[in-house]
């Protein structure tokens, strides 16, 4: 346990399953220590730098690999031998990573965090194998896994967001006619306040006097009471003049 605590990076497994990630971590740490050139061909590193780089590499190898390369003292030779032994893992990992990427579906995960974690693992493997995966590719992959019922939502995500305040104003209750806005003429009818037709004593709603079967104006048509059928019929109104029932004069009326 004490040896594991001192490791800067995860040791290279003898099976080579973590070779691709180990190579990346080893290169970063060697560059940070100033020994990055020691693993390159034709380098002119000093013997002291090569020895320090060799100590670091051997310290982060499986014990079986340490035994196998016990006689190697040049870090560039050790690096090349390890690459020759494990670099073929790309041909194994790449098809698997592509398969996982192809069948990655958002609905298969319980949470978005689990989906993102799996996606980053797959994209890391693809990048280690030389594949180029951008943020746009990951977003497009997520959109393409949406359910068919969410195709509208998928399209909206792809489009640019509409600027604030540019949404058209609702015009359900107001209409435009000849460049002027006017309220709906049928407002009285739609609100349930319809016209009334029938027998009624006293003052009529239209301002006319007593009587049966008189006409009154409507916004759409003229109606009168039919005594025979007891129904209201639509028709054209007669030219009716107000007559006073007290004196018989015109122009005024009295109860």
Cα(169)–Cα(155) distance, rounded to whole angstroms?
A: 23
Tell me, yes or no, whether 153 lies in a domain: no
Residue 224 lies in a domain: no
User: Are residue 49 and residue 68 in the same domain, yes or no?
Assistant: yes
Which of 24, 23, 28, 127 is closest to 79 using CA atoms? 23
- CA–CA separation, 238 vs 159, rounded Å? 63
60 and 83 co-located in one domain: yes
Count of domains forming the chain = 2
Query: What is the β-pairing status of strands 174-177 and 180-183?
Result: antiparallel
Alpha helical stretches, state H, the chain: 2-5, 19-33, 47-59, 63-68, 75-86, 89-102, 112-128, 135-144, 151-158, 187-190
The predicted structure's pLDDT at residue 154: 55
Instruction: Give the pLDDT means over successive 10-residue stretches in the chain (255 positions).
Output: 62 90 92 92 91 93 92 94 90 89 88 91 88 88 72 57 49 46 44 46 46 45 48 50 66 61
Cα–Cα distance for residue pair 1/57, rounded to 1 Å: 19
| Last residue of one domain, picked from the residues 100, 125, 148 | 148
Shared domain check, 83 and 18: yes
pTM reported for the whole predicted model? 0.50
What angle (nearest 5°) sits at the alpha carbon of residue 44, between those of residues 43 and 46?
A: 125
pLDDT of residue 50: 93
**Residue appearing with tokens 């780089």:** 53
Instruction: Indicate if 22 and 46 belong to the same structural domain.
Output: yes
* Angle ∠(161,164,167) on CA atoms, nearest 5: 85
Q: What's the pLDDT score for residue 243?
A: 66
User: Pick from 87, 103, 138: which residue ends a domain?
Assistant: 87
Q: What is the pLDDT of residue 151?
A: 57
User: Is 160 inside any structural domain?
Assistant: no
Q: Domain containing 104: what range?
A: 90-148
Alpha-carbon distance of 12 to 206, in angstroms, equals: 100
How far apart (Å, rounded) are the C-alpha atoms in residues 189 and 195? 8
């Amino acid at each position: 346990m004490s040896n594991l605590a001192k490791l800067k990076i995860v040791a290279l497994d003898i099976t080579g399953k973590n070779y691709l990630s180990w190579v990346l971590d080893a290169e970063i740490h060697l560059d940070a220590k100033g020994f990055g050139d020691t693993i390159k061909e034709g380098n002119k590193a000093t013997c002291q730098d090569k020895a320090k780089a060799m100590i670091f590499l051997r310290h982060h190898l499986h014990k079986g690999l340490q035994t196998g390369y016990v006689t190697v003292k040049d870090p560039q030779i050790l690096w090349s031998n390890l690459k020759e032994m494990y670099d073929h893992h790309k041909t194994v990992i790449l098809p698997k990573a592509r398969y996982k990427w192809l069948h990655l579906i958002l609905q298969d995960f319980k949470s978005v965090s689990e989906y993102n974690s799996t996606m980053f693992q797959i994209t890391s493997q693809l990048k280690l194998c030389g594949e180029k995966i951008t943020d746009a590719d990951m977003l497009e992959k997520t959109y393409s896994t949406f359910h068919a019922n969410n195709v509208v939502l998928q399209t909206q995500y792809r489009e640019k967001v509409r600027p604030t305040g540019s949404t058209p104003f609702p015009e359900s209750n107001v209409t435009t006619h000849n460049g002027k806005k006017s309220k709906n003429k049928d407002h009285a009818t739609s609100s349930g306040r319809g016209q009334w037709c029938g027998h009624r004593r006293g003052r009529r709603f239209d301002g006319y006097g007593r009587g049966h079967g008189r006409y009154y104006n409507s916004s759409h048509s003229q109606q009168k009471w039919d005594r025979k059928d007891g129904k209201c019929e639509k028709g054209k109104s007669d030219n009716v003049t107000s007559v006073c029932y007290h004196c018989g004069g015109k122009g005024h009326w009295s109860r």
